[in-house]
Amino acid sequence: MGMAQKLDTGVRAQDKDWWRGTVIYQIYPRSFQDSNGDGIGDLAGIVQRLPHIAELGADAVWISPFFTSPMKDFGYDVSNYCDVDPIFGTLTDFDAVIARAHELGLRVMIDLVLSHSSDQHPWFAESRKNRSNARANWYVWADPKPDGTPPNNWLSIFGGSAWQWDARREQYYLHNFLTSQPDLNFHESEVQEALLDIARFWLERGVDGFRLDTINFYIHDKHLRDNPPLPASQRNANIAPSVNPYNHQLHLFDKNQPENIDFLRKLRAVMEPYNAAAVGEVGDAQRGLEILGEYTEGNDKMQMCYAFEFLAKDKLTPERIVETFDALEAAAPDGWACWAFSNHDVTRHITRWGLSDGAAKAYATLLMCLRGSACLYQGEELGLPEADIAFEDLQDPYGKEFWPEFKGRDGCRTPMVWQSDNQTGGFSAGKPWLPVPAEHLRHAGAKGEGSLFAHYRAAIALRHQHPALRRGAQYDLTAKGDLLTFIREDGPETLFCAFNLGDQPISLVIPKGKWRSILPHDGGSLDQTITLGPWQTCLASRLQDRGEQNG
């Protein structure tokens, strides 16, 4: 417990910018480790497997929701923000997660779902009773149009209208997601204060920060104005699948409201005394990077925002990387992104981009070299592909709604595999809540030399060893076919980074000056022209001459 205490007080006081360039490992608790044989992962299971994450070299863990919930959306529908759902354990079990993580040098970030609650939350139960109770305005209620139809044309990400009729109040309530996830009304100061108290509760319990679900959905347009249509040529399926009519609107009024900035400032003020950091999930296909800039600029809002650009279906090419960073520089020159290739909502990138082992390793190194923080999703360090889940095994309501054109999110949520000698991969002694694919078992426990796990560990270590990779500036980003090159710089350290993101050799001329190779091996000076093999990386450190060193 001494190490936990050291992390709580010493590091919190020492490094206000610990989040810059941090490597975060996302845990989806239902599927990480089951400790009691009920087929569902739990907090005690997380405690058991935290050494795996520490061995990988990550700096922090992000734990997806474990709060009390009817599980209509698997924990993203919260009925008690300040307790643990019994399927995951107890608050005492959570305290054990904090203690063990801090002993291992890992910070803990938890997933706060503030934009909406479950319809089973006591707040909503009271709010829907009538129009005059103490919490009558804690959710977004509106009268129907004269013809009885919903107040406006807003759509739910999960399909259909974003409004649900409630016979008790004879009004509609807003739900940007499932009908069982009513939206909280942030225009009420009491709602904001209640949510800030929830943040305080978990900070007092020892968490080091938050991942903020759908951060740009908190506040809606007071006047409930219709969203304008979006031309087909501008539709982007990065947030919702292409079969979803949600993509047919320009979402001007149901989210992204300017008043949101004021709430983020209040939340940052609550976090500051704890040296806590937050990464906000920006769900917007049209203005994502612009909002990232708005929400992270300065020192009084969120530290990071979770960017969707590298979660897209299209393969990540050098050209798209350059375009993304150019757009980021234009929209958010002072912003800070947190990049990810996979998470619990998208097809795993090994499958999504059709990656070979060599390609997976190249992209892992790339993620550790790009400016910003990085988020890894459980199992990507083992090279787990997307699972093919039969309709009869499907659990995700999103997949059930749009099957078979969109199969939902269960394919990336199957249980983690730890050993290859049993059908559940060491995840559970019982029947897992989602099936464990047989093809995943061969990935279990593969940590030896040459493994993808060993490569991730080495890439993360490289990031830790070089301040330029963790927090430095990034410039001269250039794409030529499959070749990506850029410079990272911090103080006296300058690194040249070159990536061949293709399956043919590429020759290139390195920048003028004296350079020493640090990858693929720590060696001598480089020739002016070098050749990168398929999926090969070159990192080189600029050598200072004696005059520069003395200057």
Which residues are catalytically annotated?
Answer: 213, 281
518 φ/ψ sector (left φ>0, alpha ψ -120 to 50, else beta): alpha
CA 96 to the chain's CA centroid: 24
46 vs 136: CA distance, rounded Å: 39
- Quick one: which of 91, 297, 115 has its CA closest to 204? 91
Bridge partner list, 210: 110, 278
Contact present, 331 and 368 (Cβ < 8 Å):
no
Question: Kind of pairing, strands 209-212 and 277-281?
Answer: parallel
- Quick one: which of 126, 129, 125, 141 has its CA closest to 185? 141
Question: Kind of pairing, strands 337-340 and 373-377?
Answer: parallel
Contact present, 270 and 199 (Cβ < 8 Å):
yes
DSSP track, 157-180: TTSSBSEEEETTTTEEEE-SS-TT
Kindly report the number of other CB atoms within 10 A of residue 541's CB atom.
19
DSSP H or E run through 326: helix 318-331
Kindly report the number of other CB atoms within 10 A of residue 242's CB atom.
12
Contact present, 114 and 176 (Cβ < 8 Å):
no
Q: State the number of CA atoms in the 13 A half-sphere of 387 facing the CB.
A: 25
At residue 97, what is the residue type? V
Maximum Cα–Cα distance for the chain, whole Å? 81
